[in-house]
Amino acid sequence: MASPTSKLAILFADISRSTYLFELYGDVTARQIVAETLTILAEITRKYNGFIIKTIGDEIFCTFVRPDQAFKAACEMNRSLHRGVPGSQVKISIKISLHYGPVLIENNDVYGDAVNLGSRIMEVCKPEQILISTSTLDYLPEPYPSPVRNIGKIQFRGKLESVDISEIIWQEDTSALTKHPTIIKERKKELNILYLELTCRNKKVILTNENQIFHMGRSENNDLIIDKDLVSRRHAYIEYRNGKFTLADRSTNGTYVKYDAGESILVQREEIVLFGDGIIRLGDEKDEKDQIRFSCKI
């Protein structure tokens, strides 16, 4: 397969809400649906010269020598199942994680930090979503096979440092791209944001690169206090790092970030880079009274 130590693209694909299939169709039919779905994923893996390491329940674990082939395989997996499983009326959705890095190969199995990170990325994936470590994009030729948007840095359990994550926009209908303001088709120079303007209840706060961490939450020791049931005591904070303002959620109910040109994004126990203009809502997506208006100034 490869040398004992090698760099490989790690791909995890998981059938979303498979437990619901068993509840709805029963064990026999659900097992058949899962098996047929995994067969489709395996065929696509082989089509792009991938190697199937193992299937675990409703999940398939694959490797690819070339990260661009893993990228294309991930997109085709989602597109194929989006059209439906042949011979079945059941709508199946999957979530996929991708990461490229050094691994240890032993007895037809793969180990190492790259595998662990791929698994961690899968934990934050949503149905019909493909998440990829942004570092993996450095190994892909431009233009990318499909558009990509940066999500920001996420702190994964077991990792000392946060990891920059991007999302692959695999949908064939390009009209959907207007919903994703952060789409990039090629790498671009990073723009340093000079300051961030926050407005809440007609009060304005200016954050600069000299500010310390700006805390938001229900307790009195926050910089911005929002005393509501769905808001945690230490709900979230904004920090200036590497020329960007990053929002980190540490709450139970999550933080909703809506860019002016896009959809509302739930940030829960993770981080997101703020850019442009938009709205932050703590714990409640529909809370307009205590919403926080933000504007990044370059």
Residue 152 backbone zone (phi > 0: left; psi -120 to 50: alpha; other: beta): left
Domain assignment present for residue 190? The answer is no
Q: Which residue has the higher pLDDT, 184 or 192?
A: 192
Q: Number of folded domains in the chain? A: 2
Q: Report the range of poorest mean pLDDT among 93-97, 159-163, 253-257.
A: 159-163
Q: Report the range of poorest mean pLDDT among 151-155, 163-167, 232-236.
A: 151-155
User: Which stretches does DSSP call E strand in the chain?
Assistant: 5-15, 51-56, 59-64, 94-106, 109-111, 130-133, 148-154, 163-168, 183-184, 195-200, 203-208, 214-217, 224-225, 236-241, 244-249, 255-259, 264-267, 271-274, 277-282, 292-297
pLDDT at 183: 43
pLDDT at 249: 92
* pLDDT mean over 215-221: 92
* pLDDT mean over 171-181: 47
Q: pLDDT of 70-94, one tens digit each?
A: 999 999 999 988 776 665 667 788 9
According to DSSP, residue 257 is labeled E
Domain assignment present for residue 189? The answer is no
Domain assignment present for residue 156? The answer is yes
CA distance 114 to 291: 38
Cis peptide before 181 (omega within 30 of 0): no
Where residue 39 falls among pLDDT bands split at 50, 70, 90? very high
- Same domain, yes or no: 82 and 133: yes
Q: Which of 187, 154, 183 is nearest to 169 (CA)?
A: 183
Who's near 38: CB < 8 A, 6+ residues apart? 15, 55, 58, 60
Determine the structural domain holding residue 90 and report its residue range. Answer: 5-184
- Same domain, yes or no: 46 and 107: yes
Structure tokens at 86: 């042949």
CA distance 247 to 224: 14
* pLDDT mean over 40-64: 94
Buried b / exposed e along 3-37 (16+ C-beta atoms within 10 A): eeeeebbbbbbbbbebeebbeeeeeeebeebbeeb
pLDDT at 237: 95
- Rounded to 5°, the CA angle 184-45-93 comes to 65
The helix/strand/coil state of 77 is helix
- Same domain, yes or no: 180 and 227: no
pLDDT at 256: 95
Q: What is the CATH number of the domain that holds 97?
A: 3.30.70.1230
- Same domain, yes or no: 62 and 179: yes
- Same domain, yes or no: 23 and 45: yes
pLDDT tops 50 at residue 6: yes
Structure tokens at 241: 């790092």
CA distance 248 to 256: 11
Q: Report the range of poorest mean pLDDT among 40-44, 129-133, 182-186, 236-240.
A: 182-186
pLDDT at 169: 87
CA distance 70 to 170: 13
- Same domain, yes or no: 30 and 155: yes
What's the whole-model pTM score? Answer: 0.59
pLDDT at 69: 94
pLDDT tops 60 at residue 226: yes
CA distance 105 to 5: 6
191, 214, 283, 294 from 203: Cα distances, Å: 27, 15, 20, 12
Distance separating the N- and C-terminal Cα atoms of the chain: 49
- Rounded to 5°, the CA angle 167-297-190 comes to 45
Q: pLDDT of 107-148, one tens digit each?
A: 888 999 999 999 999 888 888 899 999 999 989 887 788 888
- Same domain, yes or no: 108 and 14: yes
- Same domain, yes or no: 215 and 247: yes
pLDDT tops 50 at residue 175: no
Q: pLDDT of 60-74, one tens digit each?
A: 999 999 999 999 999
* Mean pLDDT estimate for the chain: 84
CA distance 211 to 190: 21
